[in-house]
Amino acid sequence: MKMLINVPETVVADALRGMAAAHPELTVDVENRVVVRKDAPVAGKVGLVSGGGSGHEPLHGGFVGPGMLSAACPGEVFTSPVPDQMVRAAAAVDSGAGVLFIVKNYTGDVLNFDMAAELAEDEGIQVAKVLVNDDVAVTDSLYTAGRRGTGATLYVEKIAGAAADEGQPLERVAALAKQVNENSRSFGVALGAVTTPAKGSPTFDLPAGELELGIGIHGEPGRERRPMMTSGEIADFAVGAILDDLTPRNPVLVLVNGMGATPLLELYGFNAEVQRVLAERGVPVARVLVGNYVTSLDMAGASVTLCQVDEELLRLYDAPVSTPGLRWGM
């Protein structure tokens, strides 16, 4: 496989150096693998810290900035960051108002963030945690016990980030983050396998003419493999799986997310089908976001995330944000 890299061993460090050059509004510590808002810590503001394996860009480093995360910890490709990174990030953003760890439900991430929370508290930093587990496709996977954390991470980081920027206290910011997670469900589909730099070839076999329904963001297996379906048929299946698990009482935010190798032409067409299914099911839509936000390197495919919102959550979602990967209102 051809890749725009030097050697697999330096791919994350090289990307962080490039990120630092492109975004002077961030402090990028390449050696220690921490990305921080340049104005951190902000007096009286709860710090938001997240992270995970690299390869899901712009998640998480691309969501650092006003209105979202205070800091992010990138691990190696598809590998959890280590507790030292998380503690360093927490110390860099703590203003005395506490720090919220936003953790996707993958075993390595959960264990390391738990350990980091204990170490940070030993240093006098108040820490709360929220677990993101929005994926309805499977209950357990190669990487996790329980549901995986996927697209809803964007909504948790955006809404909690807006609340933190308003100066809301740690207890309230954490409660809002948990509410967003509870109100969100996701489902992903792979049309092609993912290739990691270290392996240099597809990580699983997906024959031509087939697709995998219910994959995770590391290429984990889904519910089932089927012959290729049309965009409309995939939307029927994916949205149906979400609505089998979530009965929205309020309007929903819709994320149609590319997995890394699917062009916007296809994603917008897929969104049209997602909107059709929601209309047929009588689900009102408040906002729509289409693009590559929670990716899996070069995987072809897409995921759908729905998050039901009340007036307060929608107001916080609409609040200004300025990060490399998401910006509006500024």
Catalytic residues: 56, 218
C-alpha–C-alpha distance, residues 330 and 324, integer Å = 13
Answer whether 104's CB lies under 8 Å from 130's CB: no
Structure tokens at 79: 């590998």
Pairing of strands 47-54, 99-104: parallel
Residue 222's contacts (CB-CB under 8 Å, 6 or more residues apart) are 137, 138, 188, 189, 190, 212, 213, 214, 215, 216
Specify whether the CB–CB gap between 5 and 197 falls below 8 A. yes
Helix residue spans in the chain (DSSP H): 11-22, 83-93, 107-122, 152-165, 170-182, 231-245, 264-280, 311-318
- CA-to-CA distance for 217 and 201, rounded, in angstroms? 17
The Cα-based distances of 220 to 40, 158, 160, 207, 296 in angstroms read 36, 26, 28, 16, 11
- Cross-strand pairs, 307: 184, 253
Q: Cα 30 to the chain's mean position, in Å?
A: 21
